[in-house]
């Protein structure tokens, strides 16, 4: 497992005392991860772990997890880790992310661990590490750096129809 060893200037704050229930509820509305059998394993202040089993639907033509699925599970883990530091009336949305692929994602299970690096007033900076389990061994395959924007304009579970 790889994680940045970031010196935090402030302690991770969770203004919503019910952040774990909020994250678990919101996860049930995550269509793509749930459709492919993803599971929310662990929720802590500033941290989330998500698992996704290998399937043909999540693979690419060489039999590895697809790079888009790697980005999706990383986005999910770091996004929900960021959601733990949002106030009750807030949500967060991706503003930008970058994924570095470290090795082919060949394995039976993909694991993403998201961590909040900095929880700012408008933006949250997070990271996710992604690994696969192959023959009982966890192998690092990707690293994501993720910027998310705090918002009060969208809500979990609602059809957000503000299309322009």
Distance CA 93, CA 72 (A): 13
- Tokens read off for 84: 């733990």
Instruction: Say whether pLDDT at 118 is over 50.
Output: yes
Distance CA 127, CA 75 (A): 9
8 Å CB contact between 22 and 29: no
Please compute the mean of the pLDDT values over residues 73-79 and round it to a whole number: 98
Put simply, whether the predicted model's pTM sits higher than 0.85 gets the answer: yes
Q: Given this model, what pLDDT does residue 161 score?
A: 62
Q: Which residues contact 34 (CB under 8 A, 6 or more apart)?
A: 27, 28
Q: Given this model, what pLDDT does residue 6 score?
A: 54
Instruction: Say whether pLDDT at 63 is over 90.
Output: yes
Residue spans of the domains in the chain: they are: 19-151
Distance CA 33, CA 18 (A): 23
CATH number for the domain whose boundaries are 19-151: 3.10.129.10
Q: Given this model, what pLDDT does residue 8 score?
A: 54
Please compute the mean of the pLDDT values over residues 137-161 and round it to a whole number: 88
Distance CA 113, CA 26 (A): 17
Q: Which residues contact 130 (CB under 8 A, 6 or more apart)?
A: 70, 73, 74, 77, 105, 110, 111, 112, 140, 141, 142, 143, 144
**For 37-121, where are the alpha helices, taking DSSP H only?**
67-83
């Amino acid at each position: 497992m790889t994680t940045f060893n970031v010196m935090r200037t402030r302690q991770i704050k969770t203004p919503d005392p019910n952040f774990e229930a909020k994250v678990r509820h919101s996860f049930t509305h995550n269509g793509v991860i749930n459709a492919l059998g993803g599971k929310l394993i662990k929720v802590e202040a500033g941290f989330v772990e998500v698992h996704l089993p290998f399937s043909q639907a999540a693979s690419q033509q060489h039999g590895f997890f697809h790079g888009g699925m790697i980005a999706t599970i990383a986005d999910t883990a770091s996004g929900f880790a960021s959601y733990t530091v949002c106030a009750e009336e807030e949500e967060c949305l991706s503003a930008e992310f970058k994924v570095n692929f470290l090795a082919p994602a060949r394995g039976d299970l993909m694991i993403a661990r998201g961590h909040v690096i900095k929880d700012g007033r408008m933006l949250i900076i997070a990271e996710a590490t992604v690994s696969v389990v192959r023959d009982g061994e966890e192998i690092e395959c990707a690293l994501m750096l993720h910027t998310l924007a705090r918002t009060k304009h969208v809500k979990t579970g609602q059809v957000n129809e503000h299309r322009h």
